[in-house]
C-alpha cells in the first residue's frame, strides 16, 4: 500500500474538506484580553512598543471592554499602573487602588464578564521587583503575606480570578488560605506556574513601568532552558490549590505547553506575551508578514500545543476576524 493508492492531498482539495477535517479550532471564548489600567479620566495613551495597546483610565476601559465583549471576548486580565510606588507596594492592596477601582467599575457594567487580575508587586514597588527586598535579596516568605493581601483586596472588589505572577514559592497556598478564610472560596486561582525569566517581557515592562531597578528576575522566574522544573512548578501549584495553571511565554515554550497538557488534567492557559505581540506588529507594519494570517497561525499553534486558554493582546482583533470568517 502507500503511494499511489494512498494520497493525502485527496482530503485537502477543497476548502470544505480542509475545514471539516481541521483538528484545532480557535474561538473567541479561548481568549483572555490583557488590559493596562491607569489613574485619571479620559486617558487612552498608546504604549509605544505595543501598537494597538493603550493605558486606559476606568472610563475608557469600559469602552474598550464593551468592544471586546461585543466581539465575543469573555475574560479580561487587569494590570494596574500605580500612582505611587514604595518598597512595600502599598497601592497593590489598597481597596481604593487602581485595579480595585477598575474591577468594581467593570463588574457593575459587565456582570457576566470574567474579571481576572494579575497579582504581583513589580508594578507597585519602587525597586520594581515582584517581591519584598530584604538585605538586597527578594525575600520569599515575607512577600507571601503581601501577595495574599493583594489577592484578597481584588476578591473583595469583585474579581472572579486572581492570577499570581510573582513566582514566589508557596504563594498559591498562601492566597488560597487567605481567600478561604475571608469567605472567598469561589474565587479562582490561575497560577503563572511555569513562568520563565524571558526577554519577551520587554514591551510589557515599558507598559507597566515595572522594570527591576537593580539585578534581574532570575532568582525567582525560571531558567528558559529547563523543562522538568516546569513540571515541578505545575505539580506544586496544583497541590497548593491552583484551579488553572499557566505556561509563559508561549511561543518559545510550546514543548512545555504540550508536556503540561499531557501530564495534568487541570485547565491550562498560555500567555502570548508582549514581545511576541510586538514582533508581529513590527513585521506587519513593514509589510513583511500578513498580520491576520500570522496571528491566526500563532493562536492556533498555541492551542494545538495544548492550551485551553490563551492570554493575548491580539484577542479583540482575532475575535473579530473569527466572527467575520476571516481566520
User: With CB under 6 A, what is the number of residues at the site for ligand PBG?
Assistant: 11
If the CB atoms of residues 184 and 196 are measured against ligand PBG, the closer one turns out to be 196
Cα within 13 Å of Cα(132), Cβ side? 14
β-partners of residue 162 are 117, 189
Q: Does 31 bind ligand PBG (CB under 6 A)?
A: no
Is 74 annotated as catalytic? Answer: no
Minimum Å gap between C-beta 99 and ligand PBG is 13
Taking CB under 6 A as the criterion, the residue among 36, 184, 201, 220 binding ligand PBG is 201
Q: Which of residues 248-277 bind ligand PBG (CB under 6 A)?
A: 273-274
CA–CA dist 107, 303 (Å, integer)? 28
**Nearest residue to ligand PBG on Cβ basis:** 204
If the CB atoms of residues 205 and 292 are measured against ligand PBG, the closer one turns out to be 205
Binding string, residues 4-23; x marks residues near ligand PBG by CB under 6 A: --------------------
Q: Stretches 64-72, 200-208, 251-259, 294-302: which one binds ligand PBG (CB under 6 A)?
A: 200-208
Q: Does 165 bind ligand PBG (CB under 6 A)?
A: yes
Supply φ then ψ for residue 205, to 5 degrees. Answer: -65, -30
Q: Does 172 bind ligand PBG (CB under 6 A)?
A: no
Is 195 annotated as catalytic? Answer: yes
Minimum Å gap between C-beta 21 and ligand PBG is 34
Minimum Å gap between C-beta 209 and ligand PBG is 11
Minimum Å gap between C-beta 324 and ligand PBG is 26
Binding string, residues 100-139; x marks residues near ligand PBG by CB under 6 A: ------------------x-x-x-------x---------
Binding string, residues 295-314; x marks residues near ligand PBG by CB under 6 A: --------------------
Among residues 74, 248, 281, 303, the one annotated as catalytic is 248
Q: Where along the sequence are the contacts to ligand PBG (CB under 6 A)?
A: 118, 120, 122, 130, 165, 201, 204-205, 217, 273-274
Supply the residues annotated as catalytic: 195, 248
Amino acid at each position: 500500500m502507500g503511494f499511489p493508492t494512498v494520497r493525502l492531498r485527496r482530503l485537502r482539495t477543497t476548502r470544505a474538506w480542509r475545514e471539516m477535517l481541521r483538528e484545532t479550532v480557535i474561538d473567541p471564548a479561548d481568549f483572555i484580553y490583557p488590559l493596562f489600567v491607569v489613574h485619571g479620566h479620559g486617558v487612552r495613551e498608546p504604549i509605544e512598543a505595543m501598537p494597538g495597546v493603550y493605558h486606559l483610565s476606568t472610563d475608557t476601559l469600559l469602552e474598550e471592554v464593551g468592544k471586546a465583549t461585543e466581539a465575543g471576548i469573555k475574560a479580561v486580565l487587569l494590570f494596574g499602573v500605580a500612582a505611587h510606588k514604595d518598597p512595600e507596594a502599598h497601592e497593590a492592596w489598597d481597596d481604593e487602588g487602581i485595579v480595585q477601582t477598575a474591577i468594581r467599575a467593570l463588574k457593575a457594567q459587565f456582570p457576566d464578564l470574567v474579571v481576572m487580575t494579575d497579582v504581583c508587586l513589580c508594578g507597585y514597588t519602587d525597586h520594581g521587583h515582584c517581591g519584598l527586598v530584604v538585605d538586597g535579596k527578594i525575600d520569599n516568605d515575607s512577600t507571601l503575606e503581601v501577595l495574599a493581601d493583594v489577592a484578597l483586596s481584588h476578591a473583595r472588589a469583585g474579581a472572579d480570578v486572581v492570577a499570581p505572577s510573582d513566582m514566589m514559592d508557596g504563594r498559591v497556598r498562601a492566597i488560597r488560605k487567605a481567600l478561604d478564610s475571608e469567605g472567598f472560596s469561589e474565587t479562582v486561582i490561575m497560577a503563572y506556574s511555569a513562568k520563565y525569566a524571558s526577554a519577551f517581557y520587554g514591551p510589557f515592562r515599558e507598559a507597566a513601568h515595572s522594570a527591576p531597578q537593580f539585578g534581574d528576575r532570575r532568582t525567582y522566574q525560571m531558567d528558559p532552558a529547563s523543562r522538568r522544573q516546569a513540571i515541578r512548578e505545575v505539580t506544586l501549584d496544583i497541590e497548593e490549590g491552583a484551579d488553572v495553571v499557566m505556561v509563559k511565554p508561549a511561543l518559545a515554550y510550546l514543548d512545555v505547553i504540550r508536556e503540561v497538557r499531557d501530564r495534568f488534567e487541570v485547565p491550562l492557559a498560555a500567555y502570548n506575551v508582549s514581545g511576541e505581540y510586538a514582533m508581529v506588529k513590527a513585521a506587519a507594519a513593514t509589510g513583511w508578514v500578513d498580520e491576520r494570517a500570522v496571528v491566526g497561525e500563532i493562536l492556533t499553534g498555541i492551542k494545538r500545543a495544548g492550551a485551553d486558554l490563551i492570554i493575548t493582546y491580539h484577542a479583540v482583533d482575532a475575535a473579530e476576524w473569527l466572527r467575520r470568517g476571516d481566520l
